[in-house]
Amino acid sequence: MSQTEAPWQVIARRKQQEQSDTIPKSWTLKTRPAADRINVLAIPRECGILNTREIEITEKYDATALVQELAAKRLKSVDVVTAFCKRAAIAQQLTNCLTEIMFDEAIARAKQLDEHLERTGKPMGPLHGLPISVKDSFKIVGRDASIGYASLCFKPAETNSALIEMLLQAGAVIHCKTNIPLTLQALDSHNNVFGRVLNPANLKLTAGGSSGGEGALIAMRGSVLGVGTDVGGSIRIPAMCNGLVGMKPSHGRIPYAGQENGSIPGTETLGIRSVAGPIAHNVRDCELFFKAIGDLEPWTYDPECVAQTWEQQVVRSAIRTPSLSDHMRRLRIGIVKTDGITTPLPPIQTILEEISNTLKSNAAIQVVELDVTSLLSQCQTVANGLFGVDGANTAFDLMEATSEPISPWLKSRLRRKKSLAADKIRDLQARRNELQTRFLDIWKPHGGYWKNASGSAGNLDVFICPVAPHPTPAIDTWNTVSYTSAFNLLDLPAATLPIRPIRASDLNGKISDESSAPNGWEKYNRKLWDGDRSVFLGGTLCVQVVSQRKQERVLLQALSKLQDSLAVLKEDKAVKSKL
């Protein structure tokens, strides 16, 4: 170590070398993309590392189709896993999306699974032979869960996280862990050990956080199904940034036990509970994940999980199109256009309007406009308080142990404070409980929050709102988590649903009510809009879909219906009219 090097730099260099050594030389890119190339999504099929069959495996199938092909012996796990390992290696070289690389172990397990299927005629489980990536915070025996802290490197886990045990029991193959932001509290995935995750659709845009590595890897198709965690938007935000479906459940639906989150054990029970959930290319792959875990009795792996199988969970009858012989009621969907804190920028307003108009023309759907600003504006205050239970002291202790600097996005947002006193935590939890109770009324036609409740006889199934008040922004410029953290506070299942690419025409809108006195979040949002708007191109316009607590199956049913109903919006009418 030179006299000018801090301890963290020595550790980071050693860790990065370990990473590099796990990628076979034949999987190394011979040339780097041109400096002016900002979209690298096509490079895996252009670079010559993948053969034709491997390109087909990684691009033709989703996770649901792959498990069907694997169980039917039309594909071998070793071929599927090898293809995704190679593609993950390429993704790592282009976007820096990985932490722990486990290609050799994954291929060896895939061979064992193929032998098991050949010998017994039965797949190992519902995810037999499927390669799955997981966020770095999950513990895997013999591997670090450093979550980007130099002081946690080279301290391999001695036990698996509960969900890792379940995925292995289900027959999955875990081939890599993915990159995250330092402290897990940032919306841009950068740390000093592994570096910064880049957005493959536009290298100038953020890949999001804190499951940013998952988002980038899946967008590159280096994984077909990934698992992130979410305490304030950390699944939904990377899903938005990378144009994917990402879903966070209520606490207790998917096992979370055994995670490394950089805090003293027990701290998480005092604040907002983090949850684990899937990131994928479509809704049915998220449903595959929830069904597989639900049927394996997660409460036997994590004592905080609800004792309900997939079949025992709440469902709705309103997913089919009504007909003369069908008395099923329509699917009821609310539209929330603002949280009352930060007014969405014109592209977000535009996509909400397009969605509302499209759904209103669907006979199977009833659309209700909601005004819940009086509740959501309070959620942000309570959530911010509960995020600061330990005053970030453990995070700073971990950084200072190796003289590690704080990441850029966090510099002006995170500092040491006193841990919250017990009476302060009690008061915040009391306010949270009150908001949860009051929020029950938003689902009811006469609860006081529907703008057009006349003639309505039943409750809402789900509602739609923004993921953020802006499109995917440039690196280190994400504004606020108020649109996502509210649903962590309230413990409501919520998912990101991609709608369509952002277009040049979306950048022409004007911000209304310029004369009002904006708060800090509004000022920042306007600054994003007043800058170079062309940076937003390459991003995807997404919305968030939210259901009642513990109603994950209702949310998945509604997401499937919405995915089909809103597919028409992907067409660029301006381009189509010129053809």
Residue 482 assigned as binding residue: no
What is the torsion angle, in degrees rounded to the nearest 10, for the CA atoms of residue 62, residue 63, residue 65 and residue 69?
Answer: 130
Q: Cite the beta strand spans of 377-455 per DSSP E.
A: none
Q: Before 577, cis peptide (omega within 30)? A: no
Residue 505 assigned as binding residue: no
420-463, pLDDT tens digit by residue? 999 999 999 999 999 999 999 999 999 999 997 766 668 999 99
Measured between alpha carbons, how far is 83 from 157 in angstroms, rounded to an integer?
27
Kindly tell me if the per-residue pLDDT of 561 is higher than 80. yes
Kindly tell me if the per-residue pLDDT of 530 is higher than 80. yes
Q: What tokens were used for 206?
A: 């953020």
- State the average pLDDT for the chain: 95
Concerning whether 60 is annotated as a catalytic residue, the answer is no
Domains of the chain, start order: 19-300 (3.90.1300.10), 331-505+520-571 (3.90.1300.10)
Provide the b/e sequence for 461-481 (b: ≥16 CB within 10 Å).
bbbbbbbbbbbbbbbbbbbbb
Q: Which are the contacts of 346, defined by CB distance < 8 A and separation ≥ 6? A: 506, 508, 509, 510, 511, 529
How many CB atoms are located within 10 Å of the residue 431 CB? Answer: 17
Give the distance from CA 304 to its chain's centroid. Answer: 22
Q: What tokens were used for 30?
A: 């011979």
Concerning whether 377 is annotated as a catalytic residue, the answer is no
CB of 543 closer than 8 Å to CB of 467: yes
Mean pLDDT computed over 505-524? 85
pLDDT for residue 354: 98
Percentage of the chain exceeding pLDDT 90: 92
Kindly tell me if the per-residue pLDDT of 515 is higher than 90. no
Backbone angle region of 538, left / alpha / beta, with phi > 0 → left and psi within -120 to 50 → alpha:
left
462-497, pLDDT tens digit by residue? 999 999 999 999 999 999 999 999 999 999 999 999
Measured between alpha carbons, how far is 399 from 44 in angstroms, rounded to an integer?
36
Going by pLDDT thresholds of 50, 70 and 90, the confidence category of residue 513 is low
Kindly tell me if the per-residue pLDDT of 3 is higher than 70. no
Concerning whether 325 is annotated as a catalytic residue, the answer is no
- For residue 368, the SS3 value is strand
91-137, pLDDT tens digit by residue? 999 999 999 999 999 999 999 999 999 999 999 999 999 999 999 99
Q: Which are the contacts of 521, defined by CB distance < 8 A and separation ≥ 6? A: 341, 342, 469, 479, 480, 482
Q: Which of 210, 223, 274, 407 is catalytic?
A: 210
247-293, pLDDT tens digit by residue? 999 999 999 999 999 999 999 999 999 999 999 999 999 999 999 99
Give the distance from CA 293 to its chain's centroid. Answer: 18
How many CB atoms are located within 10 Å of the residue 533 CB? Answer: 19
Q: In this structure, which amino acid lies at residue 417?
A: K
Going by pLDDT thresholds of 50, 70 and 90, the confidence category of residue 534 is very high
pLDDT for residue 365: 94
Measured between alpha carbons, how far is 30 from 354 in angstroms, rounded to an integer?
44
Q: Which of 15, 86, 135, 550 is catalytic?
A: 135
- DSSP 8-state assignment for residue 312: T
Residue 195 assigned as binding residue: no
- In this structure, of 62-76, 354-368, 564-578, the range with the lowest mean pLDDT score is 564-578
Q: In this structure, which amino acid lies at residue 111?
A: K
Helices within 494-572 (DSSP H only):
520-530, 552-565
pLDDT for residue 324: 41
Residue 336 assigned as binding residue: no
Residue 210 assigned as binding residue: yes
158-208, pLDDT tens digit by residue? 999 999 999 999 999 999 999 999 999 999 999 999 999 999 999 999 999
Residue 543: beta bridge partners?
Answer: 497
CB of 436 closer than 8 Å to CB of 491: yes
Residue 232 assigned as binding residue: yes
286-333, pLDDT tens digit by residue? 999 999 999 999 999 999 999 999 999 999 754 544 444 444 578 999
Going by pLDDT thresholds of 50, 70 and 90, the confidence category of residue 347 is very high
Going by pLDDT thresholds of 50, 70 and 90, the confidence category of residue 4 is confident
Kindly tell me if the per-residue pLDDT of 394 is higher than 80. yes
Q: Which of 223, 234, 263, 407 is catalytic?
A: 234
